[in-house]
Amino acid sequence: MTDQTENLSRRERRNRARTVIDTSIVWQMRIYLVLALIFLVLFVRHIVLGDISLWAAALSLIAGYAIGAVLVRGQHLSWDTDARQIAKSSTVIGTALLVIYILFAIFKDEVLHRMLGISNPALLGAIGSGISAGVMIGRVLRTRRGIVAVFSAIAPHADMAPPQNQT
């Protein structure tokens, strides 16, 4: 970062970052975090009830994180010089991956039953909630990493002040 941002507190840096990140990205990340918390609560409940072993639980979270990281690769974060914000655009591959994930989310019990041969509904629910939590966490963390990369790339070159309203 530049000398100007090094002297700011963490709260001031976060507030400054919020002004230069497109609000759709911010809201999307908030929704993903809420969904991740819901799926994590369900997932922990399955673990506490003994529906899934710890190694299978860890494996489902890791698989979900990997899927989430792949889904984020289908979006492109860049600096919009006109709006002076980080903007997001989806690629065709990213859109196709998202459609495939939505289909998987809808039919995950059937897919897991056919792929893994599991017929226990509690275990299917545990694996499904673990994968879903991992996907949401993966999307949030990888998007955050992308935002930091854009900031690092543009910080020395661009004016990151939000545009002033001209009335």
Question: Which distant-in-sequence residues (6+ apart) come within 8 Å of 95 by Cβ?
Answer: 74
* 113-135 confidence digits (pLDDT tens): 888 788 888 888 899 899 999 99
* 57-103 confidence digits (pLDDT tens): 999 999 999 998 888 887 888 887 777 788 788 777 777 877 888 88
**What is the pLDDT, as a whole number, of residue 19?**
78
SS3 content of the chain, % helix, strand, coil (to 5): 70, 10, 20
Inter-residue contact 17 to 151 (CB < 8 Å)? yes
The amino acid occupying position 147 is I
Neighbours of 129 (CB within 10 A): 27
